Amino acid sequence: MVKKILILLTATYTMLHAQQVMEEVIVHDDITRSYILYVPDSYSSLNPTPLVLNLHGYSSNAGQQMIYSNFYTLADLEGFILVHPQGTLDNQGFAYWNSGGITEVDDVGFLSSLIDTIATDYNINLDRVYSMGMSNGGFMSYTLACELSNRISAIASVTGSMIESQFLNCNSEHPMPVMQIHGTSDLIVPYEGNENIASIDNVISYWANFNQCSLDPVVSNVPDVNLLDLSQTEHYVYDSGLNGTSVELYKVIDGGHTWPGALIPLTGNNTNQDFNASQEIWNFFNKYDINGVINNTTTILDQLPNTKICLRNIDLLGRDILKSNFVLSIFNDGSVEKKNTHKLN
């Protein structure tokens, strides 16, 4: 995987040369910290712009997370600034985030300083700063929700969780929109948790209660459009929270320690391809600022509630297609239609 990502990194940096992709450093607590900043071409200093923190997993790095999550393509489409911070090295030489307070590294302070640094150079909407992450980066996003909530509007965790002790020490200052994406066959961060890691159901319950959401979730099945990913997904939405907040869970049945929708396979792990985690995370973030739900996020599709629009046509393997005898059509209302386009003469 590492070799494959390194090759992709080289190719991607070449393709993005025209974009503003910068590797920068700042010094925090006498430690030089690095990060990769992605600024879309659409950025204008005249417009306050949302900022998304995208945190890598344990033993990974900022560049790998940038490529694996593929979130920068959404930054181009949606116009937000994206930053991929780099963790420090532990005693074994692996990059990590101090999400459980196990060392003296002040990652909360570093990320707060990073927000300040970027906001000095760019017109950042400080009411719209979000954190997301993979695995250890997901743990760190929960830490920010607890310890830096005055600067974070919403968080998302993919294959991450919370340390059991965090429930007692979490001091979020406002209702916190939370999205969790997790596979039931994750062997690295078990869905059921362990003696140190909270189960995903307990994490969801904590935030749904904290936000005073409805504890009777709206449950739906994500259409199983890819028949070869060996997994299916259930979507749970706990809504009607304070300030319009919600808590969402994508429970990937038989999913592994992976990022749904990622094009890079991880050996021994099922990567669900029925939905794109990055797209769903941005859709979730885009609903909220630091004060709760944003009331002016209507789109053209929102103005056409009775119009059923086909979003994609795919084959049985989940691939976008133009022509096929058998087509799965995915519509904006969440429905899927199977069509046999073969016509007998």
Give bridge partners of residue 31 from the DSSP assignment: 28
Percentage of the chain surpassing pLDDT 90? 77
Helix, strand, or coil (residue 107): helix
Same domain, 199 and 332: no
Give the chain's mean pLDDT: 88
pLDDT at position 187 over 90: yes
Tally of domains within the chain: 2
CA dist., res. 87 & res. 281, Å (int)? 22
Same domain, 164 and 273: yes
| Residue 255 and residue 309 in one domain | no
Same domain assignment for residues 85 and 67:
yes
Residues 44 and 124 in one domain: yes
| pLDDT of residue 316 exceeding 60 | no
Residue where a domain terminates, one of 253, 277, 295: 295
Contacts of 31 (CB under 8 A, 6+ apart): 88, 105, 110
> Is 270 found in the same domain as 252?
yes
Sign of the C-alpha dihedral computed for residues 101, 104, 109 and 110 taken in this order = negative
CATH number for the domain spanning 167: value is 3.40.50.1820
260: exposed, middle or buried (C-beta count within 10 Å: 0-12, 13-18, 19+)? buried
Angular region, 159: left φ>0, alpha ψ -120 to 50, beta rest: left
Residues 101 and 47 in one domain: yes
8 Å CB contact between 185 and 270: yes
332/186 same-domain check: no
Q: Is residue 87 classed exposed, middle or buried when 0-12, 13-18 and 19+ CB atoms within 10 A define those classes? A: buried
Nearest CA to 183 out of 253, 121, 82 is that of 253
Same domain, 327 and 282: no
Distance CA 158, CA 258 (A): 8
pLDDT of residue 7: 45
Q: What is the four-CA torsion angle of 289, 101, 90, 140, rounded to 10 degrees?
A: -20
pLDDT digits (tens, 9 = 90+) for 30-79: 999 999 999 999 999 999 999 999 999 999 999 999 999 999 999 999 99
Q: Kindly indicate the confidence band of residue 299, based on its pLDDT and cuts at 50, 70 and 90.
A: very low
Instruction: Identify the pLDDT of residue 317.
Output: 56
- Supply the pLDDT for residue 54: 99
Question: pLDDT of 156-165, one tens digit each?
Answer: 999 999 999 9
Find out whether 189 and 167 touch, Cβ atoms under 8 Å. Answer: no
Q: What is the C-alpha separation between 219 and 181, in angstroms, rounded?
A: 14
pTM for this model (two decimals): 0.83
Strand partners of residue 95:
89
Do 240 and 170 lie in one domain? The reply is yes
Q: How confident is the model at residue 303, as a pLDDT?
A: 39
Question: Where among 261, 279, 295 does a domain terminate?
Answer: 295
User: What residues contact 179, with CB distance under 8 A and at least 6 apart?
Assistant: 154, 155, 156, 157, 247, 248, 249, 250, 280, 281, 284
Is residue 2's pLDDT more than 50?
no
Residue-level pLDDT at 5 = 42
Among 295, 319, 337, where does a domain finish? 295
Are 253 and 302 in a shared domain? no
Confidence of residue 17 (pLDDT cuts 50, 70, 90): very low
Mean pLDDT of 183-194: 98
* Range of the structural domain that residue 339 is part of: 298-345
Letter string b/e over residues 36-64, b meaning 16 or more CB atoms within 10 A of that residue's CB: bbbbbeebeeeeebbbbbbbbbbbbbbbb
In angstroms, how far is CA 90 from the centroid of its own chain?
25
188 pLDDT more than 60: yes
* 306/234 same-domain check: no
Can you give the pLDDT at residue 306?
Answer: 53
Task: Answer yes or no: is pLDDT of 285 > 70.
Answer: yes
